[in-house]
Amino acid sequence: MSPARTHAVLVIGAGFAGLGTAIRLRQAGVEDVVVLERGWEVGGTWRDNTYPGAACDIPSVLYSYSFAPNPDWSRAYSGSAEILRYIRHLVEEFELRPLIRFGADVSELRFDDATGTWTASTRDGRAFTARAAVMAPGPLANASLPDIRGLASYTGHVVHSARWDHDYDFTDKHVAVIGTGASAVQIIPELVGTARRVKVFQRTPGWVLPRPDFGHPDWLRTVFRHSRLSQRAARLAWFAGHEVLALGLVWDTVFTSAVQAAAKVNLRVQVRDSWMRRQLTPDFRAGCKRMLMTSDYYPALQADNCKLITWPIATLSPGGIRTADGIEHQVDAIVFATGFDVCKTGTPFPVTGLDGRRLDEEWAGGARAYKSVSVAGYPNLFLTFGPNSGPGHNSALVYMESQIDYAVQGVRLILDRDLRLLDARPERQERFNAEIQRRLGATTWNSGCRSWYLTENGTNATMYPGFATQYAHQLRTLDAADYRLAPGLTVPAREVGGHNDAGSGARDSVHECEIGRASAATRP
Ligand code: N01
């Protein structure tokens, strides 16, 4: 099916990143933006994660866009419903709904060397073409149901944390929870409050610190409403506090030992039983896996109707879970809080770049990009939460904003200079990645635990080894010298959707004509 016309930009995903991209593109004067969303509502992970207790472990003042502050957060750490309301508010406030194509589940993204355009095909047979594409499918979009032996034989109810079944009533039920990560520690206290009995199957305990949550009093909201400066100051204060945490959570330092000591004090204060404290003491460095921020998890584990099971799961059986000690745990329902399938070595759908190269093939040994946003050989394409862009200590939204604003500069450059190709220089990408991998060596993530940050062979293609400030700084200005540029369009300008004359903001050191047209474009 041939696409109707060539848009300025395709954005894939209508979660936080995709919507933020659309907003910033429009603010930069790029109006012809199409947002492709596979679901039927906006919100991404916050639309999908509706499990009881779902909340953000980063303060809302910081877990929101700096260009769209919300004075009305009800508390320091908001729940998922309030975050989703904020996302929906963005859609209305910035009039994004007309840009979004719902039910557009992208099955392929393909670059046309001759025209310098990307075409996204969707599973329902539609095709959308644009001068540039921004990938914003979210790193945590696909729930992971582990391949546990006997899973198919279990006859009770199965729920995944990221696809909660609100029709199932847990009241008075015997429930098993598999997993003790960031999602599980939020779900377990809620289930303990409703179910008859909860058994928590822990494979690896995590480091836990209390979450300093508090309700925002009316006066604070009034101050926020009347003074943007006060909101900015609060955001800055939270930001600075989290940056300090990097000293212990990103790098394996004496501060890491201090974080562990604080977590051990928390464990000792909250858990009475010494054997249980041993079961809950991690054997890896704090920060290696995501730090768990919760004040009600340990109390829930000690409730009369809750039991922590640390024997490995041997198999699922028709009635429940059999552990390696031979005990059969009969349960009515199993909650899998087992995380997500994260694309560390592939792409969520086939992405075909210059000369027919495939991104999943190139990333088979671990994903790599230039500054996490561009990939050599895939011109005019920008990634949000691309390789090595993840934070371990600060708000994902801070990282996201930097990626978006960098991508917007790239889009402006393509449109303003009428470029066919804006392609990251492979040698700069190589140098960048060598440096990232070198720096990762000193981080807690590479200190020897198993986590979703690492590939099977231990490559860390997920996290950024530095402060959020450093990450944002390197993305502040898109330097055209980092890219190979090719001018000239086969797409007639009048076919391309409108953009105004706002300046690109990209550093003006363009070296054009370095890539030949179409088939003359060579692999690096
Ligand atoms: O998933 P996880 P999550 N048998 O992968 C266990 C974000 N998030 O959904 O540690 C038995 O962290 C696994 O055990 P182990 C945040 O970025 C943010 O909790 O691998 N157990 C682990 O305990 C986070 O990092 C918020 O040994 C199995 C758990 O399942 C990311 O989402 C809130 C198993 C999976 O933990 C993922 O968190 C919630 C098996 N076969 C989540 N397979 C915020 O507040 C897996 N496990 C922002």
- 96-137 confidence digits (pLDDT tens): 999 999 999 999 999 999 999 999 999 999 999 999 999 999
Cα–Cα distance for residue pair 400/375, rounded to 1 Å:
17
For CA atoms 503, 508, 512, 514, give the dihedral sign: negative
Atom of ligand 1 nearest to the CA of 390: 17
Residue 503 pLDDT: 43
Q: Ligand 1 centroid vs 26 CA: distance in angstroms?
A: 36
Cα–Cα distance for residue pair 3/99, rounded to 1 Å:
16
Cα–Cα distance for residue pair 375/444, rounded to 1 Å:
26
Q: Is the pLDDT of residue 195 over 90?
A: yes
Residue 490 pLDDT: 46
pLDDT category at 489 given cuts 50, 70, 90 is low
Q: How high is the mean pLDDT of the chain? A: 91
By most ligand atoms within 8 Å of CB, the mutation choice from 45, 183, 190, 393 for ligand 1 is 183
Cα–Cα distance for residue pair 338/256, rounded to 1 Å:
26
In this structure, which residue's CA is closest to atom 37 in ligand 1?
339
Determine the average pLDDT of the residues in 193-221.
97
Q: Does the pTM of the predicted model rise above 0.75?
A: yes
Residue 488 pLDDT: 67
Residue 515 pLDDT: 40
Atom of ligand 1 nearest to the CA of 185: 19
Question: Is 372 buried (19+), middle (13-18) or exposed (0-12) by CB count in 10 A?
Answer: buried
Q: Ligand 1 centroid vs 441 CA: distance in angstroms?
A: 23
- Check pocket membership of 313 for ligand 1, CB cut-off 6 A: yes
Top-confidence residue, 495 or 13: 13
Cα–Cα distance for residue pair 510/503, rounded to 1 Å:
15
Backbone φ and ψ of 519, nearest 5° = -65, -15
- Check pocket membership of 472 for ligand 1, CB cut-off 6 A: no
pLDDT category at 341 given cuts 50, 70, 90 is confident
Place of tokens 């809302």: 60
Q: Ligand 1 centroid vs 183 CA: distance in angstroms?
A: 6
Listed in sequence order, the DSSP H helices in 121-180 are none
Residue 455 pLDDT: 86
pLDDT category at 366 given cuts 50, 70, 90 is confident
Atom of ligand 1 nearest to the CA of 182: 19
By most ligand atoms within 8 Å of CB, the mutation choice from 46, 178, 201, 203 for ligand 1 is 203
pLDDT category at 345 given cuts 50, 70, 90 is low
Q: Is the pLDDT of residue 351 over 90?
A: yes
Q: Ligand 1 centroid vs 394 CA: distance in angstroms?
A: 18
Cα–Cα distance for residue pair 189/211, rounded to 1 Å:
14
- Check pocket membership of 203 for ligand 1, CB cut-off 6 A: yes
Residue 77 pLDDT: 96
The residue among 102, 155, 119 whose CA lies nearest residue 3 is 119
Q: What is the 3-state secondary structure (H, E, C) of 30-78?
A: ECCEEEEECCCCCCCHHHHCCCCCCECCCCCCCCCCCCCCCCCCCECCC
Cα–Cα distance for residue pair 178/508, rounded to 1 Å:
53
- Check pocket membership of 323 for ligand 1, CB cut-off 6 A: no
Residue 344 pLDDT: 67
- Check pocket membership of 161 for ligand 1, CB cut-off 6 A: yes
pLDDT in tens, 284-304: 999 999 999 999 999 999 999
- Check pocket membership of 293 for ligand 1, CB cut-off 6 A: no
Q: Ligand 1 centroid vs 178 CA: distance in angstroms?
A: 10
Top-confidence residue, 504 or 161: 161
pLDDT in tens, 396-439: 999 999 999 999 999 999 999 999 999 999 999 999 999 999 99
For CA atoms 466, 472, 473, 475, give the dihedral sign: positive
Residues 6 or more apart whose Cβ sits within 8 Å of residue 347: 359, 360, 363
Residue 301 CB neighbour total at 10 angstroms: 24
Give the DSSP per-residue string, 130-144: EEEEEE---TT-SB-
Residue 189 CB neighbour total at 10 angstroms: 21
pLDDT category at 456 given cuts 50, 70, 90 is confident
Residues 6 or more apart whose Cβ sits within 8 Å of residue 210: 266, 293, 294, 295
Q: Following CA atoms 175, 179, 183, 185 in sequence, which dihedral angle do they give, to the nearest 10 degrees?
A: 70
Of 49-53, 86-90, 492-496, the poorest mean pLDDT is in 492-496
By most ligand atoms within 8 Å of CB, the mutation choice from 48, 290, 393 for ligand 1 is 290
Residue 522 pLDDT: 28
For CA atoms 389, 391, 397, 401, give the dihedral sign: negative
Atom of ligand 1 nearest to the CA of 204: 27
- Check pocket membership of 437 for ligand 1, CB cut-off 6 A: no
pLDDT in tens, 36-73: 999 999 999 999 999 999 999 999 999 999 999 999 99
Cα–Cα distance for residue pair 477/405, rounded to 1 Å:
9
The residue among 394, 359, 387 whose CA lies nearest residue 453 is 387
Question: Is 75 buried (19+), middle (13-18) or exposed (0-12) by CB count in 10 A?
Answer: middle
Q: In the chain, what percentage of residues exceed pLDDT 90?
A: 85
Cα–Cα distance for residue pair 13/414, rounded to 1 Å:
22
Q: Which long-range contacts (CB under 8 A, 24 or more apart) does 455-458 make?
A: 455/344, 455/345, 455/366, 457/365, 457/366
- Check pocket membership of 151 for ligand 1, CB cut-off 6 A: no
